[in-house]
C-alpha cells in the first residue's frame, strides 16, 4: 500500500506540473502595456511555488513509503518539532510572499492611483445585473448627469445608465454595450456598479477591478494591439452571472474617431 500511495502522489504531482511547464494552462495573449510585467511575475510565481510544491509532494511520497506499515516496523515516536526549522521556513515564506507583493505593487498602484495621462480616452463603465454599459462624453469632453430614478435597461442604452437628457452636457454622450478604444492610447476608466458588486475583467489586458455600488473608481490601462477582446464579470453577482460579458474592440485612432462621430451623429 505504501508503494501504491507513493506512486499516486508522485504521478499527480508531476502530471499536473507538466501542464504548467508546457504552458497548456496559461494566460491568454497579453495586449496591454502592463501585460509583459504581469506575465513575467506570474511566471516567476509559478516557478517559485512550483519548486515548493514539487519538493513538498516529493517528500510526502517518500514519507508515505518510509513510514508505511510493515513487518518489524518500529513504534511511532511523537516529535515536539524543531523550533529553528519552523522559524526558518516561516521566515522564508514571509520573504517570498512579501517580496512578490512588493514586486507587483508598482504596476498595481500605477493603474489605480497615478493620474491618467493627458489626452487619455475617458470612458465610464457601468455594471448591472447582468450587462456592461460604456459611456463616452462626446465632443464637449464632459459627461452628462445621470440619476438612478431614470434607469430603465428595457428602454435602451442611455436609459440603462440613467442619462439625464435635459442636461446640456448629456446631449452628445454616447452609450453603448460594446467598448471601443483606440490602440496605443490610454483609457481613463470611471467604474461604477448599480446593484451589487461586479468585477470588470479583461483577461487580454491583464485588467481586473471590482465595481462597487456607491463608488466611482478611477483606473487606467493602455491597449497595444488591434483586435476583439472579451470582457467578463469576475465577481459572482447573481443567477445570470454566467452571461454577464461584453466585447472590447481595439481599433486604430482613425477608426475610433469615425465610430464615435457616427454614434454622435445618430443622436442629432
If we measure between CA atoms, which residue out of 157, 111, 112 comes closest to residue 135? 157
- Dist. CA 212–CA 216, nearest whole Å: 8
Question: pLDDT of the chain along its 268 residues, tens only?
Answer: 667 788 888 888 888 888 888 877 788 999 999 999 999 998 898 889 889 889 988 888 888 877 777 777 777 777 788 888 899 989 998 998 899 889 888 888 888 888 888 889 999 999 999 999 999 998 888 898 988 888 888 788 888 898 988 888 888 889 999 999 999 999 999 999 999 999 999 999 999 999 999 999 999 999 999 999 999 999 999 999 999 999 999 999 999 999 999 988 877 6
pTM: 0.83
The structural domains of the chain, with segments of one domain joined by +, span 2-69+80-113, 121-266
Q: How many CA atoms lie within 13 A of 160 on its CB side?
A: 21
Architecture of domain 121-266: Sandwich (2.60)
**Which pLDDT belongs to residue 249?**
97
Q: Residues 200, 217: contact at Cβ < 8 Å? A: no
Vertex 72 angle, CA 71 and 73, to 5°: 95
Amino acid at each position: 500500500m505504501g508503494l501504491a500511495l507513493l506512486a499516486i502522489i508522485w504521478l499527480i504531482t508531476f502530471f499536473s506540473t507538466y501542464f504548467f511547464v508546457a504552458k497548456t494552462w496559461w494566460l491568454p495573449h497579453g495586449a496591454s502595456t502592463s501585460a509583459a510585467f504581469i506575465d513575467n511575475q506570474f511566471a516567476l510565481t509559478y516557478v517559485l511555488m512550483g519548486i515548493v510544491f514539487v519538493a513538498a509532494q516529493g517528500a510526502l511520497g517518500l514519507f508515505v513509503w518510509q513510514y508505511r506499515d510493515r513487518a518489524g516496523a518500529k513504534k511511532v515516536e511523537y516529535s515536539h518539532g524543531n523550533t529553528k526549522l519552523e522559524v526558518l521556513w516561516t521566515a522564508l515564506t514571509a520573504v517570498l510572499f512579501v517580496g512578490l507583493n512588493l514586486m507587483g505593487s508598482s504596476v498595481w498602484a500605477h493603474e489605480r492611483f497615478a493620474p491618467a495621462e493627458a489626452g487619455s480616452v475617458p470612458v465610464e463603465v457601468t455594471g448591472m445585473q447582468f450587462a456592461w454599459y460604456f459611456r463616452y462624453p462626446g465632443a464637449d469632453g464632459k459627461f452628462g448627469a445621470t440619476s438612478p430614478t431614470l434607469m430603465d435597461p428595457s428602454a435602451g442604452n442611455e436609459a440603462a445608465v440613467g442619462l439625464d437628457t435635459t442636461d446640456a452636457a448629456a446631449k452628445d454622450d454616447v452609450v453603448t454595450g460594446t467598448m471601443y478604444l483606440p490602440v496605443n492610447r490610454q483609457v481613463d476608466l470611471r467604474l461604477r456598479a448599480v446593484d451589487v458588486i461586479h468585477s470588470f475583467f479583461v483577461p487580454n489586458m491583464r485588467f481586473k477591478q471590482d465595481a462597487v455600488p456607491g463608488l466611482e473608481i478611477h483606473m487606467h490601462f493602455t491597449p497595444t494591439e488591434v483586435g476583439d477582446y472579451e470582457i467578463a464579470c469576475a465577481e459572482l453577482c447573481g443567477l445570470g452571472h454566467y452571461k454577464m460579458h461584453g466585447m472590447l474592440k481595439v481599433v486604430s485612432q482613425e477608426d475610433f474617431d469615425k465610430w464615435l462621430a457616427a454614434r454622435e451623429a445618430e443622436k442629432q
